[in-house]
Amino acid sequence: MEVNIRHLRNGTPRNSISLLDRGLHYGDGLFETILIHKNKCILWKEHLERLQDGCKRLALPSPGASILKKEAKRLIHTTQEGILKIILTRGESERGYAIPSHPKPTRILSLFPPPFYPKKNWQEGIHAMICRTQLSCTPDLAGIKHLNRLEQVLARSEWKDPNIAEGLMQSTENRVIEGTMSNVFLEKEGVFHTPSLQECGVAGVMRRFLLNFFEKAGWPYEVRPIIPAEVFEANSLFFCNSLFGIWPVLQLDHYKFCISPKIRKLQKCLPPGLFPS
């Protein structure tokens, strides 16, 4: 069995791509970032379904679930804890935006060490800020996890304070959308609310998991446009993603929130590896 392989490009150990790759030139592609816990890819099915949906939306040839599963196993077979990143681009082309008539996609799977997050982020809650950088409204790209992430890069560059764990982003239409690396939920009078992502934002895998949980558990929730004033009126607030699960918010700028019993219960219902013991 192979050891110490960290990167596969189209199934072959490589740590470089062509200078003509459209992912490099135009961000023409998709990606998924998947938690590895006890040698398993957490929420694998949900990640693959989002990737397949992105392929359909971008008319990007899909490698198929069986190939990705085989290559993922090849990379993580000795890994107890870590991160698997899948990148799919449209492959090489000559200069110009026009899509090649017969694209040959580039498929990259990479293995990374597990991220470090302080346990207090889960247990005590986090401090967050409202970002100045806004998300452009582009319905054709809304929801999918495409490679164009400069808005998030700019938003994340707005703070260097280690006490701030996340930033809240709004759209150019002044709607609350998401965190720089996460989705957001508000809780008010026992009802959870999360922003509609019809115009922009990433439909996170953890967001999907939680919406399914609410549906099955009969917990009241709403997916709808949310304005900033509603955030400050909420009783509780949390950010979520598929790497850290749920981080309750103690303070957003100068606004303070509580950690509700429902949020504590949600944390304990997450898949393995997403709530520290």
CB 45 within 8 A of CB 24: no
Q: What share of the chain is helix, strand, coil (3-state, %, to 5)?
A: 25, 35, 40
Helix ranges (DSSP H) in 118-256:
120-123, 150-156, 205-217, 228-233
Marked catalytic residue, from 71, 106, 145, 194: 145
10 Å CB burial of residue 5 (0-12, 13-18, 19+) is middle
Residue type, position 30, single letter:
L
Closest CA to 54 of 89, 99, 96: 89
Q: How far apart are CA 93 and CA 101, in angstroms?
A: 10
* Residue 89 designated active-site: no
Say whether 56 is catalytic.
no
DSSP helix/strand/coil, 29: strand
Residue 96 makes CB contacts below 8 A (sequence gap 6+) with none
CA dihedral 137, 138, 144, 150 (to 10 degrees): -70
33 is catalytic: yes
Of 32, 33, 92, 194, catalytic: 33
What residues act catalytically? Answer: 33, 145, 178
